[in-house]
Amino acid sequence: MTKGKKSKSWIVRNELNDQQKLFVAELLGDLNFSGTEAARKVGYKNPNQDAYRLLKMKKVQKAIGKSLKKREQRCELTGDDVLNFIKRVLYFNPLEYFHPGEDGGWEITDISALPPEVGQLIDGMKIKVTTDKDGSSTSVFEVQLISKATALALAARHTIVEKQELKVMMDWSKLWDKPTEPNPIDTALLEAEK
């Protein structure tokens, strides 16, 4: 073998087989990130032991890390982005830009004057055109803003999910009884950065 070239046997050993690929896909799709559940779903006979073995394998760790990185790049929307938007909804004061409308909504005459970050908070809109006695018309935009109650519910749900993710990660680290070896999840994330 010439220097710098990889042998075919190396390539085969470092590729995931079909069942391992399914395991990675199931693991990433599981809300609890349960290796045992993922192994069971893809047909491993001893899911608990097989999940443990698979998660220790460098090639599986690397595949998990790459998949997580690809998902993050595809989304281009982070958890922080979502929380910042929810925060904007919760702390937004509509009286700074709108007048209270007759039907419980908000009204504005010059919608083009709204900054983009305020426009993003509009959930629905109707245009009401009135004609004055002199024949001139006036447009009033009736807007419905994103519900603060919905935003608060989303914030609460996000907090619960974040705590569950933290608990899952903490539970995983408790299961990892080899303090001299790195946790496979941490290893997968580090591999993705390479």
d(CA 89, CA 149): 10
Q: By three-state DSSP, how is residue 110 classified?
A: coil
E strands, 37-165, in order = 99-100, 106-108, 122-131, 137-145
pLDDT digits (tens, 9 = 90+) for 120-146: 888 888 888 888 888 888 888 898 888
Question: Taking the model in full, what pTM does it have?
Answer: 0.44
Instruction: Note the pLDDT tens digit of each residue in 46-102.
Output: 999 999 999 889 899 888 888 888 877 777 777 778 888 888 888 899 999 999 988
51 contacts 175 by C-beta, under 8 angstroms: no
Q: How far apart are CA 148 and CA 159, in angstroms?
A: 16
Main-chain phi, psi angles of 150, to 5 degrees? -65, -45
Partners of 139 in the beta sheet?
Answer: 129
Domain boundaries, the chain: 1-76, 81-145
Q: How far is CA 81 from CA 32, 76, 118, 152, in A?
A: 22, 9, 16, 15
State the CB neighbour count (10 A cutoff) for residue 187: 19
Residue 173 above 50 pLDDT? no
The predicted model gives 147-161 an average pLDDT of 76
Here the tokens at position 74 are 């595809």
